[in-house]
């Protein structure tokens, strides 16, 4: 840990009365905090330097066992380390197991923010939703899963939507929605040939990568597309310039690449990759082809980056990470891997029905804390269901760890807007906006006790 630039924030809060209590940490070279701030974003005071190792041993104090206690360290990183949308990195440095191993303490649930739906997924879901209204009485077909989540797909199936893997399964002249992952020009052309009303719900951030591929291929450049060969997004992007594009799944693929002119070479990436994994491949490509060009702006999208960084920050401080998402969701799988590479056990699950009590047992008894996050295609009600299960089973307490604030807005696809106007519906009001979900006791089983350090705290 760095010895300067860290500032510890110690908070303690009684579970029921929300009363402020003092923590009694031991800091080498730092003054003890005498009073914990409450409520709202935690103010942070700059430490006096020295080593910022904090230690709390609550097991010795039965009174503190009833408290939610934690220590968060706020670091001002080098400018190059700044994550999008934030000026600081927030890291829980003390294992948040209030008296871990004791059956007397409640399990702490830490909800990572941001988590779950991104703007692209929300847009794709809204598109199908609106299409069902706008084309009332007609069957709406969706080419591939609209997003990679079995609950989202199942709920639409229940409303009559038909998912197809081939456009040949869509009757001529019918309405078809292209999924958030994007399609190749060949699929769009085939839809036109069949006279389909095609509504393109491709995420604009995927479309951006398509445009880069088209632009560079038109200039005679070769494209190295980093990603998973069989993922719908990679198939769609590859289809924009198949002659110019080669897929790179790992550094092991590099020796077999066919490169005509290393000075006209660019790499692009799948939007939902792990930033760490992609970084390893990019470094290997740079070593092999020093002149390779980076994409004009990051291809790994804001939502992927932010959810991954939140897990990277928070996972080291908990005993278990639960990632809500489906196994075919690339970004959900990556979140699970990132938690594990941070040294914390992690489970990927679709919903609360997959929870097992044994996951919450550690070597010394029940674990003390669990971080919950969700892939970009996982509905928030599934997160709430998992929280309720934990509150009911273990009397768990809830905290929200705000690492990034997101407020992203996308518009509806042009084809859908045209169809809405043709039916007298004004699409101007139908913007898609994603913000942090509201947490209520009814939905989650409890209200959050603590809001951890966010932007306000960072500025202090
Ligand atoms: S994960 Fe990113 S690229 Fe994919 S739909 Fe969401 S915002 Fe778009």
Same domain flag for 320 and 216: no
- How much is the pLDDT for 428? 73
Specify which residues 400 forms β-bridges with. 111, 451
- How much is the pLDDT for 90? 38
Is 291 a residue of the active site? no
Same domain flag for 75 and 63: yes
- What are 210-231's pLDDT values in tens digits? 999 999 999 999 999 999 999 9
Residue from 233, 304, 373 whose mutation best tests the ligand 1 pocket (most atoms within 8 A of CB):
304
Residue 12 has pLDDT above 60, yes or no: no
Q: Tell me how far apart the alpha carbons of residues 52 and 421 are, in angstroms, rounded to a whole number.
A: 60
Domain edge (last residue) among 174, 202, 230: 202
Residues 6+ apart with CB under 8 A from 61: none
Q: Tell me how far apart the alpha carbons of residues 161 and 125 are, in angstroms, rounded to a whole number.
A: 12
Domain edge (last residue) among 288, 312, 334: 288
Nearest atom within ligand 1 for CA of residue 121: 5
Q: With respect to residue 390, please indicate whether it lies within any of the assigned structural domains.
A: yes
Strand pairing report for 89-92 and 67-75:
antiparallel
Same domain flag for 243 and 316: no
Q: With respect to residue 315, please indicate whether it lies within any of the assigned structural domains.
A: yes
- Residues 114 and 307: beta-carbon distance below 8 Å: yes
- How much is the pLDDT for 313? 93
Same domain flag for 210 and 327: no
- How much is the pLDDT for 452? 55
User: In this structure, which residue's CA is closest to atom 5 in ligand 1?
Assistant: 120
Q: What percent of the chain has pLDDT over 70?
A: 74
- The parent domain of residue 358 ranges over 54-116+302-459
Ligand 1 in contact with 315 (CB < 6 A)?
A: no
Q: With respect to residue 370, please indicate whether it lies within any of the assigned structural domains.
A: yes
Q: With respect to residue 296, please indicate whether it lies within any of the assigned structural domains.
A: no
Ligand 1 in contact with 273 (CB < 6 A)?
A: no
Same domain flag for 79 and 132: no
- What are 59-106's pLDDT values in tens digits? 333 333 333 333 333 333 334 333 333 333 333 333 333 333 344 468
Q: Tell me how far apart the alpha carbons of residues 396 and 148 are, in angstroms, rounded to a whole number.
A: 30
Same domain flag for 307 and 449: yes
Give residue 449 CA to ligand 1 midpoint distance, Å: 31
Same domain flag for 349 and 445: yes
User: In this structure, which residue's CA is closest to atom 8 in ligand 1?
Assistant: 120
- How much is the pLDDT for 451? 56
Nearest atom within ligand 1 for CA of residue 119: 7
Same domain flag for 351 and 432: yes
Q: Tell me how far apart the alpha carbons of residues 285 and 222 are, in angstroms, rounded to a whole number.
A: 13
Strand pairing report for 222-226 and 245-248:
parallel
Same domain flag for 418 and 346: yes
Same domain flag for 234 and 324: no
Res. 450 pLDDT band, cuts 50 70 90: low
CATH of the domain at 166: 3.40.50.11270
363-367, 410-414, 447-451, 456-460: lowest mean pLDDT where? 456-460
Ligand 1 in contact with 203 (CB < 6 A)?
A: yes
Residue from 376, 379, 410, 434 whose mutation best tests the ligand 1 pocket (most atoms within 8 A of CB):
376
Same domain flag for 197 and 68: no
Give residue 434 CA to ligand 1 midpoint distance, Å: 12
Q: With respect to residue 45, please indicate whether it lies within any of the assigned structural domains.
A: no
User: In this structure, which residue's CA is closest to atom 2 in ligand 1?
Assistant: 301
Three-class SS state of 269: strand
Q: With respect to residue 82, please indicate whether it lies within any of the assigned structural domains.
A: yes
Three-class SS state of 141: strand
Ligand 1 in contact with 330 (CB < 6 A)?
A: no
End-to-end CA distance of the chain: 21
Ligand 1 in contact with 408 (CB < 6 A)?
A: no
Q: How many structural domains comprise the chain?
A: 3
Residue from 119, 268, 273 whose mutation best tests the ligand 1 pocket (most atoms within 8 A of CB):
119
Q: Tell me how far apart the alpha carbons of residues 89 and 317 are, in angstroms, rounded to a whole number.
A: 14
64 conformational bin, left if phi > 0, alpha if psi -120 to 50, beta if neither: alpha
Tell me what the mean pLDDT of segment 248-252 comes to.
97
Nearest atom within ligand 1 for CA of residue 331: 1
- What are 156-177's pLDDT values in tens digits? 999 999 999 999 999 999 999 9
Of the residues 30, 33, 233, 380, only one is catalytic, namely 233
Q: With respect to residue 422, please indicate whether it lies within any of the assigned structural domains.
A: yes
Domain edge (last residue) among 202, 237, 264: 202
Three-class SS state of 267: strand
DSSP state of 82: P
- How much is the pLDDT for 22? 27
User: In this structure, which residue's CA is closest to atom 7 in ligand 1?
Assistant: 120
Res. 408 pLDDT band, cuts 50 70 90: confident
51-55, 223-227, 279-283, 320-324: lowest mean pLDDT where? 51-55
More confident residue, 398 or 454: 398
Q: With respect to residue 333, please indicate whether it lies within any of the assigned structural domains.
A: yes
- How much is the pLDDT for 457? 38
Q: Tell me how far apart the alpha carbons of residues 173 and 168 are, in angstroms, rounded to a whole number.
A: 12
CATH of the domain at 214: 3.40.1010.20
Same domain flag for 351 and 418: yes
Q: Model-level pTM?
A: 0.76
């Amino acid at each position: 840990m760095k010895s300067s630039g860290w500032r510890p924030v110690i908070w303690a809060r009684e579970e029921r009365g929300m009363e402020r209590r003092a923590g009694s940490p031991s800091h080498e070279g730092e003054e003890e905090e005498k009073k914990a701030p409450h409520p709202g974003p935690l103010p942070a005071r700059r430490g006096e330097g020295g080593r910022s190792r904090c230690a709390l041993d609550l097991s010795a104090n039965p009174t503190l066992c009833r408290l939610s206690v934690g220590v968060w360290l706020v670091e001002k990183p080098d400018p190059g380390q700044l994550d999008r949308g934030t000026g600081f990195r927030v890291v829980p440095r003390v294992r948040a197991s209030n008296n871990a191993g004791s059956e007397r303490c409640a399990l702490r649930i830490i909800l990572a923010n941001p988590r779950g739906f991104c703007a692209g997924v929300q847009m794709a879901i809204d598109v199908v939703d609106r299409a069902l209204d706008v084309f009332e009485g007609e069957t709406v077909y969706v080419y591939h899963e609209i997003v990679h989540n079995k609950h989202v797909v199942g709920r639409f199936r229940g409303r009559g939507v038909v998912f197809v893997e081939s456009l040949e399964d869509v009757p001529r002249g019918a309405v078809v929605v292209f999924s958030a992952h994007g399609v190749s020009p060949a699929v769009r052309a085939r839809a036109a040939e069949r006279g389909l009303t095609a509504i393109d719900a491709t995420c604009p951030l995927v479309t951006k990568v398509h445009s880069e591929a088209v632009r560079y291929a038109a200039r005679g450049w070769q494209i190295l597309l980093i990603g998973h060969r069989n993922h719908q997004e990679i198939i769609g992007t590859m289809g924009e310039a198949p002659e110019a594009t080669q897929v790179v799944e790992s550094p092991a693929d590099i020796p077999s690449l066919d490169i005509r002119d290393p000075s006209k070479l660019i790499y692009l990436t799948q939007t939902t990759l792990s930033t760490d994994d992609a970084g390893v491949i990019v470094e290997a490509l740079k070593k092999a082809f020093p002149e390779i060009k980076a994409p004009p702006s990051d291809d790994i999208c804001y939502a992927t980056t932010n959810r991954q960084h939140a897990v990277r920050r928070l996972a080291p401080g908990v005993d278990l990470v639960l990632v809500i998402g489906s196994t075919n969701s690339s970004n959900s799988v990556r979140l699970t891997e990132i938690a594990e590479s941070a040294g914390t056990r992690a489970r990927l699950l679709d919903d609360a029905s997959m929870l097992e009590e044994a996951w919450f047992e550690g070597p010394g008894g029940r674990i003390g804390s669990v971080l919950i996050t969700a892939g970009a295609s996982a509905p928030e009600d599934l997160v709430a269901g998992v929280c309720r299960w934990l509150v009911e089973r273990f009397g768990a307490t809830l905290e929200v760890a705000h690492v990034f604030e997101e407020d992203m807005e996308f518009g509806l696809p042009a084809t859908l807007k045209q169809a809405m106007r043709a039916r007298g519906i004004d699409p101007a009001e139908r913007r898609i906006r994603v913000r942090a979900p509201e947490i209520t006791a009814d939905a989650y089983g409890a209200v959050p006790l603590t809001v951890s350090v966010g932007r306000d705290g960072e500025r202090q």
